Structure 1
Amino acid sequence: MLSKQSKWVLLVLLSLIWGSSFILIKRGLVGLSPFQLGSLRMIFAATFLLIIGFNSLKNIRQHQWKYIALTAFMGTFFPAYLFSIAQTQIDSSVSAILNSLTPLGTLILGALVFGLSFQKRQLFGVIIGLVGCLLLVMNGAVNHPGQNYWYATLAILGAICYSINVNLIKKHLSDVNPLSITTGNFAVLLVPATIVLCCTDFFEIVGKSEVQASMFFVAILAIMGTCVANIMYFRLIQISSPIFASSVTYMLPIVAIFWGVLDHEALTPIQFLGGFIVLVGVYLSARK
């Protein structure tokens, strides 16, 4: 009973944190390039995690480090750049909506590649949630005809990376402490992210006020949207199913659209309908 209550609490908290991440990315892109933003996000997160969780690395056995590395690149490294680049051309709310394709990818990859089982009810929940997302996407396309939706494919690729990540964690790292997984991920990514940052002109522009303001938003994104949220997410995967855990992405658009409204992005009755359908899909996919 406690586990059942905990998974719903974690789902709601993650929805609020990750749903707010897209507006933080939007603010970060004001003064930073996508590669600078993605790199700084990982560097800030790695620094924070190594301070609080360095001792937890001893809990990772030698044979598990290959999966730690895989989940680091699939769950953080590639998506951090893909979503940042995508949001140079599409709204933050649209990016969050496309991220909602993660449960569908989790279900398909889990069944075909990782040998994980699922029930028909979960499949129906995923499909219903996907219908809600399609309503939101189509409505966004109509209201924003000037946006380059080719960049949306980058967000879709990011969602596929997340789908691979959640299945890897459930299959190979279920017995590892969430803090150990998260700290291990960013210990692996610290050097690659630093190399990417050094290949940009970051150190030439770091003194500009708009760059420093963007770095502030990226620091919040790194600590809350990456460090704290990843620890919670890995715990959610361990106490529930991959499909339920990935269904958090269905609730992100609702939070992201709320922030979008505050940032003068349009909200229509169709989007309200889509949000309701999304919640129905989450409920069905969560039932055992």
Structure 2
Amino acid sequence: MNSTQSPEVPPLKAWLLLLLLALIWGSSFLLIKKGLLTFSPDQLAALRIASAGLVLLPLIVKRVHNVQRHHWPKLISVGLVGSFIPAFLFAFAQTQLPSGVTGVLNTFTPLATLVIGVFIFKQVAKPQQWLGIAIGLVGTTLLVTAGEAGAFAFNQYGLLILAATVCYGLNLNLIKHHIPDLSALTITGVSLFLVAPPALLYLLFATPFIAQVSDFESVQLSLAAVLVLGIVGTAAALVIFNTVVKLTDTTFTSSVTYLIPIVALILGVLDGEPFLMAHGFGMAAILFGVWIANRRSRKKPL
């Protein structure tokens, strides 16, 4: 039996970490919105990646010796498709898309993950996984189309989010199938650090970032939002995310994207937005879809 094979039933630890991820990433769209009040999308993305990569540096110094020559190309790929490219795609997309729509489009990640896993990485998918993903997408549709405030208006910027979900799908499968021998912290820290220097150089020398932050009072809210986004929403969250990948499978881990719109909806209600009956049905469908996709298959006794 392969020691890296995921358990059939996700452990309680994996479920708790999944919920924590949903809380962190469900808040990220609001942080992006606050960051864009002051910074351009390329500045926001570069600062996000630079802060995430640099904050983990002290934790990975002693772990670099575990990285062998064949790991480096894979870790660079993880840094690019798992963090760097999606950060820019989301930042530019959210200049023209509401944060709620962005969060909903992000739920294409499980489908992208499963399709890439089946057709590229030769992963075997169960019918119940396809069913769970379909139910989750139905719930997401209910959330985004509930009432006038949730009306879905797709434009070309939505394609940027879909491209980001493909990146996430590639990243999930790459970690699960090709880097099973490195810890989650090593994968996250090293991959982020590899892409942090170009992001930092771009931020400092290709944008007016230094001049902007010299007037600290005018940028402090946006700066704080992006730093939290980078340190907590990217660095810490990716350590948790990669831990869940190691504990379970790619379909379970990518299910976090179904929970993210629920968090965003709750934050909206706390901010005074209405809660409609369709929201309740949508949330129930999402949770049911996640359960279906990850429940144990019962075998009939002989």
Q: CA offset at residue 105 of structure 1?
A: 0.5
1:284 aligns with 2:284: no
1:133 & 1:29 partners in 2: Cα distance?
25
Matched, 1:234 2:252: no
Matches within 5 A, 1:100-179: 100-139=107-146, 142-143=148-149, 149-179=155-185
Q: Shift of residue 248 of structure 1?
A: 0.7
Deviation of 1:195 after TM superposition, in Å, equals 3.3
Conservation of the 8 A alpha-carbon contact between 2:35 and 2:222: yes
Partner residue in 2 for 1:90: 97
Contact 1:59 1:177 in 2 (8 A): no
Given that 1:53 and 1:183 are in contact with CA atoms closer than 8 Å, whether structure 2 keeps it comes out as: yes
1:64 partner letter: H
Aligned counterpart, 1:225: 233
Deviation of the 1:266 alpha carbon:
4.8
Q: Aligned in 2, Cα 1:158/1:228: closer, same or farther, shift over 3 Å?
A: same
Higher helix share: 1
Q: Secondary structure at the match of 2:97?
A: coil
Provide closer, same or farther for how the CA distance between residues 252 and 4 of structure 1 changes in structure 2, counting only shifts above 3 A: same
- Structure 1 pair 259–210 and aligned structure 2 pair: CA distance change class (3 A): farther
Alignment of 1:251 with 2:259, yes or no, is yes
Residue identity opposite 1:173 in structure 2: I
Moved more, 142-151 or 125-134: 142-151
Shift of 1:260: 2.6
In structure 1, distance between residues paired with 2:82 and 2:247: 19
| 2: CA distance, partners of 1:90 / 1:128 | 24
Please give the alpha-carbon distance, in whole angstroms, between the structure 2 residues aligned to 1:206 and 1:83.
Answer: 23
For 2:242 and 2:152, how far apart are their aligned partners in 1? 38
* Match of residue 195 from structure 1: 201
State the secondary structure of the residue aligned to 2:37: coil
Structure 2 CA distance for partners of 1:102 and 1:175, relative to 1, 3 Å = same
Residue type of the alignment partner of 2:236: V
Aligned residues: 287
**Aligned residues with identical type, % of pairs:** 38
| Aligned-partner Cα distance in 2 for 1:272–1:253 | 12
Unaligned runs of 5+ in 2: 1-6, 297-302
| Contact 1:126/1:282, CA 8 A, preserved across alignment | yes
TM-score by length of 2: 0.89
Q: Does the 8 Å contact 1:78/1:158 carry over to 2?
A: yes
Aligned residues of 1:89 and 1:148 also touching (Cα < 8 A): no
Q: Is the 8 A contact 1:7 1:240 kept in 2?
A: yes
Unaligned runs of 5+ in 1: none
> Partner of 2:42 in structure 1?
35
Q: Which residue number corresponds to residue 185 of structure 1? A: 191
Of residues 65, 77, 87 in structure 1, which corresponds to 2:84? Answer: 77
Once the two structures are overlaid, the 10-residue window that deviates more, 252-261 or 196-205, is: 196-205
Instruction: Tell me how far 1:275 sits from its aligned partner.
Output: 1.5
Aligned twin of 2:17: 10
**Bigger radius of gyration, 1 or 2?**
2
Asked if the contact 2:14–2:248 (Cα under 8 Å) also holds between the matched residues in 1, the reply is yes
Is 2:59 the partner of 1:52?
Answer: yes
| Conserved? CA contact 1:56–1:183, under 8 Å | no
- Please tell me the root mean square deviation across aligned C-alpha atoms, in Å: 2.0
1:150 positional shift: 2.6
